[in-house]
Structure 1
Amino acid sequence: MSINTPQQIADITIEAGVKKSHLPTLSVMVLGFLAGAFIALGFLLDIHVSTMIPTPWASLGNLLGAAVFPIGLILVILAGGELLTGNMMSLPTAMFAKRITLGAVARNWLLVTFANLLGALFVAWFFGHVLGLTEGVFLKKTLAIATAKVNADFSQAFISGIGCNWLVCLAVWLSYASKDVAGKILAMWFPIMAFVAIGFQHVVANMFIIPAAIFADALSWTQFIENFAAVFLGNAVGGAIFVGLAYYVSYSNVLQSSLSNVSVTAAASSETQKM
């Protein structure tokens, strides 16, 4: 078959979580930096595309901006990267399967959060502020997006974070369904485009857009931290519960049966070799 079944995807997700938990710290930091930068570059492209559309067609501009944003996750999945929001699904799923510990999940999330922040801040400062790609003619759009995000209260940001990572992790989940590059890109494109067009909050994307506004002297770091806490928790629930746990519970019996069959086959093979 050219695609993996949902049961196979669940198994792939668990194995991905296990592999991620065993990555050396240096690898996690480098790949995390890249992932944060990739998401920021996708957001930067969104701002530029939507700003080019005349004001009377602003809704079309927002849609076109959302349509180009997925380049960030495409780079993360195909080029390689450690993205916090995706890891909020894969590592908990591996933990639910008792393949890794809660401590392994916490270690990965902590390192990846810091690395993603560094990558996003790099793009916000050097490309956004120093080159002026989020300021000047683009400043109005930058401030409109960033201000809307920090003006949401805790419950609004939390719920928005759930919706966001439900879609983002479904995009990652669907990417595991395809066995070719074109299929992976198509599978990821529409869920990511949907969360951006709707306006849901993504913790790593916010690591770029809110600091970009801060570097333009429009917002404060206190506002960033308050937003970060709410969106982080919402994204964690969206990824770990609405995708990871939901599918693990749905397919856990199938997965356990598959693992048992593998163990029996291995044992039989071992006995055969002894004869």
Structure 2
Amino acid sequence: MKNMNHASTLAYVAAEAASKQTVLRQHPGRYLLSAGMAGALIAVVLSVSLKLGQVFFAVGSPGYYIAVAGFFGVALVSIIVCKLELFTSNVMYFSVGVLSGDCRVCNLLRSWAMVYLGNLLGVLLFTAVFAGAGGMGSLPADHLLFNVAAHKVHAGGWEIFWKGALCNWVICLAVWVPLRMAGDAAKMLMILLLVFVFFFSGFEHSIANMAFFSLALLHGMQGLDAAAILHNMIPATLGNIAGGALGVGLVVYLLERHTLPARREAAKPAATALGTSV
């Protein structure tokens, strides 16, 4: 795993975006499969996080969400190390790619749509398999899963949007910051800590929300229907795009674009670098 120096980070991410564009165009099936695997990883880790949190929630411990937020970072670390495609940070990669001239806008839109769909298919496939395995069993009406899902669908649209923007601002920083660090352990710790920030704060991650709602439907949550889900998913997704594309992609481009001409060739993606694909 390679550390990128400060001056070359932007060019490195731009080159990664160009590499993603190539795979998208030449191997769309592989691209979709990568996104599906990422969605499934989000769902399986979330299911374990909820079971862990429920242990504390059931006895009235105020620390239940610390357990949930602390464990969920495993999903993001796994996705980064495996170089899978997750919608939230794919937004940042392609935004940088377009701004740097390495990607076309049509491919940005195509990538966002394919990765979003792939993440959803991965979540749904995991949920179907999980159902066959008995899921989390019979859950009480006051289970943590239902409690969190209810808060998500009852929030106002603008509140969800801004929580989505804050979420992906933090998530994309969890991709960007480790590129400036040396040592795999330090990088993974930083990812875990930044994921904890977004999750513990209650921000809205559109792909994690897919998993929340799929698991809630699987376990028979009352009052959860398509309209309620879309009430959350639409502004959360738009907020994620704003936070990743503008909050990180545009900002870091404006801060570091002077490094692009001289550094582009030196910053070609390394196949095993941690944090090059989320």
Hey, which of these two has a bigger chunk of helix by percent? 1
User: 2: CA distance between counterparts of 1:135 and 1:89?
Assistant: 39
Query: Residue 254 of structure 1 aligns with which residue?
Result: 259
**Which amino acid letter does the alignment assign opposite residue 13 of structure 1?**
V
Judge conservation of contact 1:40–1:120 (CA < 8 Å) in 2. Answer: yes
Q: What's 1:105 paired with?
A: 108
Over 3 Å counting, the alpha-carbon distance change for 1:173 and 1:134 in structure 2 is farther
Deviation string, structure 1 residues 249-269 (Cα, Å, up to 9, x no partner): 00001223434999xxxxxxx
Change (3 A) 1:259 1:119: closer
Could you say which residue in structure 2 is the equivalent of 1:58? 61
Note if contact 1:129-1:135 (Cα within 8 Å) is conserved in structure 2.
no
Equivalent pair of 1:51/1:138 in contact (CA under 8 Å): no
Q: Which digits, 9 at most, give the CA deviation of each residue in 1:36-66, with x for residues without a partner?
A: 0111122112101111115455321111110
Contact preservation (8 Å) 2:15, 2:264: no
Structure 1 unaligned blocks of 5 or more: 263-275
What does residue range 1-275 of structure 1 map to in structure 2 within 5 Å? 3-23=3-23, 24-53=27-56, 55=58, 57-127=60-130, 131-133=134-136, 135-136=138-139, 140-178=143-181, 180-215=183-218, 216-218=220-222, 219-259=224-264
What CA distance in whole angstroms lies between the structure 1 residues aligned with 2:266 and 2:32? 37
Contact 1:164 1:201 in 2 (8 A): yes
C-alpha distance in 2 between matches for 1:232 and 1:128: 26
Q: Is the 8 A contact 1:158 1:233 kept in 2?
A: yes
**Which secondary structure does the structure 2 equivalent of 1:133 belong to?**
coil
Kindly state the Cα deviation for residue 15 of structure 1 after the two structures are TM-superposed: 1.3
Counterpart-to-counterpart distance in 2, 1:191 and 1:37: 21
Matches of 1:54 and 1:225, distance apart in 2 = 27
TM-score using structure 2 length = 0.87
| 1:231 partner letter | A
Greater relative contact order (Cα < 8 A, sep 6+): 2
Alpha-carbon distance change, 113 to 139 in structure 1, aligned in 2, over 3 angstroms:
farther
Q: Which moved more, 1:168-177 or 1:194-203?
A: 168-177
- TM-score if structure 1 supplies the norm length? 0.88
Residues 8 and 127 of structure 1: is their aligned pair in 2 closer, same or farther, counting only changes over 3 Å? same
Structure 2: distance between partners of 1:174 and 1:134: 39
Greater mean deviation of Cα atoms: 53-62 or 190-199: 53-62
Instruction: Say if 1:127 and 1:260 are closer, same or farther in 2 by CA, change over 3 A.
Output: closer
Contact 2:14 2:97 in 1 (8 A): yes
2: CA distance, partners of 1:195 / 1:129: 31
1:126 Cα deviation from its structure 2 partner: 2.8
Give the aligned residue type for 1:247: V
- Tell me if the contact between 1:128 and 1:212 (Cα under 8 Å) persists in the aligned partners: no
CA distance in 2, matches of 1:138, 1:39: 24
- Report if the CA contact (8 A) 1:48-1:138 is conserved: no
Q: Secondary structure at the match of 2:143?
A: helix
Match of 1:272 in 2: none
CA deviation map 1:185-236 (0-9, x unaligned): 1121111011110100000001110122223142112221221110110000
User: Percent of aligned positions with the same letter in both sequences?
Assistant: 24
